[in-house]
Amino acid sequence: MGTSDTHLLLSSIMLTFILCLSCSMAKVEALNKNVSAFYVFGDSTVDPGNNNYIDTPFRSDFPPYGMDFSSHVPTGRFSNGKLPTDYIASYIGLKELLPPYLDPNSNNLEVLMTGVSFASAGSGFDPLTPSISNVIPLPKQVEYFRACKQRLEGALGKQRSEDHMKKAVFFISAGTNDFVLNYFTLPMRRKTYTTPLAYQQFLIQHVKEFIQGLLAEGAQKIVIVGVPPIGCLPFMITLNSPNAFLQRDCLDNYSSVARDYNLLLQRELNGMQSQFRSFNPDAKIYYVDIYGPIADMIQAHEKFGFDEVNSGCCGSGYIEASVLCNKISNLCPDPSKYVFWDSIHPTEKAYHNLFLANVPKIDFIVNN
């Protein structure tokens, strides 16, 4: 093959690549004019399987996790099926399922362009929290996003990549592990932060720093989720109720901490939004409530078709999660009758209800 033939072949390959990339971009824009991509950060509520690719015991890539997922495959999602972010990605027309960033199949431009999850089950805003189970800290998740962004810049050019990021939605779901696995379970943080309020303020400072980090990377639409009624998690009832095996009611002294944190978080986000107006008027920060919808499913469970609200479907439902919920565990006959799949994580049906409860807010975020 001569030099001119080689140049012709390379030119043809480059042209084909550019055309394919343009088609991908056109496809994304055609699906949704307002949102170009969906990038997710956080913990097990939004981790579709990143923990499969790291050395941690906190994973769920084995049965019975995923039993109601397509092909009944355990993907690493901490549920019997889909996560809320899967429903959101499908609803806004980007992709049917949101993949984990660390999955080798995610390592192509079209997948990265429409969105991935960087989340890691067990992570949190407190730097101590991810170290408990050796999972991916939130700052490291931002590093992964930065590498993703650099790949897009190399393919699209800096200006098109910046425009793409301006229309992307950045979604953050974390904080529950900071309270459940860290502050209320281990003594270390309680020695330093002697009141829940002091610890809440510590967490919110980390939330602010995380959001500022995303803004510095070009994010314009940032969504942050509050924490659930943590006193209603089967795990918390088992560990903290004096008669956990006889009387399993929500523990309001723990859920009240979650409510207070959510109020402080909303107040802080409103303040940040006001600060940004002067130098970054296009940046928008949205709060999404999950406390209310989950509390409703528990308190009015018959209305939602649930029979069991204070124990999980897997094992005894009192303490099992991750490796303790496994292929030899007893299972409830019908997960759709349970709010919780294991002792911490909701079922696919509960997650779907959570998504449906927030559709008006999702529509508002997408269209503003």
Residue by residue, DSSP assigns 7-71 as HHHHHHHHHHHHHHHHHHHHHHHHH-SS---EEEEESTTS-SSGGGGSS-S----STTTTTTSGG
How far apart are the C-alpha atoms of 266 and 64, rounded to whole Å?
37
123, 42 contact by CB (below 8 A):
yes
Query: What residues pair up with 222 in beta bridges, in sequence order?
Result: 170, 285
3-state DSSP call for residue 194? Answer: coil
Which one, of 215, 118, 219, 109, lies nearest residue 167 by Cα? 219
Just list the catalytic residues.
Answer: 44, 342, 345
How far apart are the C-alpha atoms of 222 and 170, rounded to whole Å?
5
How far apart are the C-alpha atoms of 321 and 331, rounded to whole Å?
13
Helix 359-367 and helix 348-357, axial crossing angle in degrees, nearest 10? 50
Which one, of 78, 88, 67, lies nearest residue 122 by Cα? 78
